[in-house]
């Protein structure tokens, strides 16, 4: 499965909160560290991080990300989208490759 998610703190937590410029980059960096240490295939862009793996492993990583981000705020906002396709792997790059191929043929 692919899981695309975005997580951010609101309010103030034990590690501070949103900085003076309104940035949550310190909290998001901690979440991305969790993702990268998970060993699951992943990709981060300006809006979402996408993971590829099995249900339990992907959702465990998302939960850990929420926990570390939660130290930066009194609340955590989570947006999550999943593509559940049993029996398929390599879709993090495979879907994009098929799209690029279709564009090349057009």
Long-range residue pairs from 21-28, CB within 8 A, at least 24 positions apart, any chain: 24/72, 26/72, 27/68, 27/69, 27/71, 27/72, 27/73, 28/69
Domain ranges of the chain: 2-105
Q: In what order do the strands lie in the sheet with 75-83?
A: 42-44, 49-52, 2-10, 75-83
Please tell me the predicted confidence (pLDDT) of residue 1: 97
CATH 3.40.1190.20 fits 2-105, yes or no: no
Q: How far is CA 20 from CA 23, 25, 101, in A?
A: 7, 12, 44
What is the reported pLDDT for 21? 74
The reported pTM is 0.89
Residue pLDDT, tens place only, 12-51: 777 766 666 768 899 999 999 999 999 999 999 999 999 9
């Amino acid at each position: 499965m692919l899981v695309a998610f975005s997580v951010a703190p609101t309010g103030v937590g034990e590690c501070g909160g949103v900085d003076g410029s309104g940035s949550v980059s310190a909290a998001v960096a901690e979440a991305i560290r969790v993702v990268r240490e998970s060993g699951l295939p992943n990709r981060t862009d300006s809006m979402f991080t996408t993971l590829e793996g099995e249900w339990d492993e992907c959702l465990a990583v998302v939960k850990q990300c929420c926990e570390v981000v939660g130290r930066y705020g009194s609340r955590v906002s989570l947006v999550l989208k999943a593509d559940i396709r049993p029996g398929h792997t390599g879709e993090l790059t495979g879907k994009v490759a098929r799209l690029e191929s279709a564009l090349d043929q057009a």
